[in-house]
Amino acid sequence: MHSLAQHPRRFVAIDTEAGPPPNRGSRLVTNTAEIDFANAHVYAIPMRTRFRGITVREGMVFEGPAGWGEFCPFPEYDDEEAAGWLATAVEQCTTEWPTPVRDRIPINCTIPAVGPERAHQIASGSGCRTAKIKVADHPDSLAEDLARVAAVRDALGPGGAIRVDANAVWDVDQAVTAIASLDKAADGLEYVEQPCRIIEELAQVRRRVSVRIAADESIRRAADPLRVAVAGAADVAVLKCTPLGGVRRALRVAEAAGLPCVISSALETSVGLGAQLALAGALPTLDLACGLGTLSLLTGDLVDEPESLRPVDGFLPVPHTPRVPDPALLAAYAVTDPDRVVWWRDRLRRVRAVLANQSIMD
């Protein structure tokens, strides 16, 4: 395997004449023969604060002829859902990204379920003018959520934008009540992300509140994200390139959704985050800040400074070269438990088999 430095990635225009995207059930034809799966690195990076119920971020990175890819589905995802994550990593390793139409991406800071003082510190020190705040972390969290939102409003001032993410835990009535209170605490929310689980519930909430609704899980966890009908249920589409199966497929999902889009990370290292930024860079229109500043949630990265994708003054650059893991950091964050390494390698083997029977990439 040659060093990635010998294979600089070029950008190519997306083929808009390629016809409709394939259905998930048809066979995927993609060449993975040159990907170095056998020498995939399994990493574990502690998080600064518990987020999405985890305190350590785990995944794998491996090299192919066009660069490095990152495979990091969360442990609770089954092999079929994890296939989208692997498809993105394969795309990173083997395929050039579409031509970007912008050089940098405005981002939001991400506020975990922390106390108001810490929330204020994160927002005020981020350099961002938009904050995404985790809410509904537990059933009785509303009072904590309101204090956190108010603290972030104080940190950002009246000109900052505040969005909240409930990760689909409310029912319709709970969502309507909570959104009214949170909107008041924020002195105006930009939007509420995935307040309820299913499309029909989002549509009901949208009819009953004045705050914009964003769909995330309803799109990326749908049986067919290219055909899920979100236009009547949401005002914003939150897209995560990594679970959707790659940059090109995510661009098609964005087009099919027909809504303003926000690109959000899946808690990747800089290796995987590059694909998310490639997607944000290639979107024809991008009017909202993206949720790609999530390296701040991790205590480390696989890519050394200054190549790691950390924001400056509220923006991230669209990378024109792939991010290469640093050997010392791969060693520092390598999983040392042999049983856990076996778990990840077995998972990669199974998901590769699933991917061979799906068509979720070009």
Distance CA 180, CA 136 (A): 14
Domain annotation covers residue 36: yes
Residue 213 lies in a domain: no
Q: Grade residue 14 by pLDDT with cuts at 50, 70 and 90.
A: very low
pLDDT at residue 13 in the model: 29
Alpha-carbon span 188 to 116, nearest angstrom: 18
Query: Which residues does the annotation place in the binding site?
Result: 165, 193, 216
Answer whether residue 341 is part of any domain: yes
User: Which pLDDT value is given to residue 31?
Assistant: 62
Expressed as residue numbers, the domain containing 58 is 4-99+326-355
Q: Which residue in 283, 271, 305 sits closest to 43, CA to CA?
A: 271
Q: Which residues are annotated as a binding site for Mg(2+)?
A: 165, 193, 216
pLDDT at 321: 74
In a domain, 32, yes or no: yes
Q: Are 91 and 361 in contact (CB under 8 A)?
A: yes
3-state class percentages of the chain: helix first, strand second, coil last, to nearest 5? 35, 20, 45
The verdict on residue 67 lying in a domain is yes
Residues found in the chain: 362
Domain count of the fold of the chain: 1
Q: How far apart are CA 265 and CA 252, in angstroms?
A: 18
**Mean pLDDT for the stretch of residues 113-133:** 96
Supply the residues annotated as catalytic: 134, 240
- Mean pLDDT computed over 73-79: 95
The CATH number that applies at residue 347 is 3.30.390.10
79 belongs to a structural domain: yes
Residues 141-188: pLDDT tens digits? 999 999 999 999 999 999 999 999 999 999 999 999 999 999 999 999
State yes or no: pLDDT of 109 exceeds 80. Answer: yes
**pTM as predicted:** 0.88
Do the domain assignments include residue 337? yes
Instruction: Report yes or no on 58 lying in a domain.
Output: yes
d(CA 153, CA 146): 11
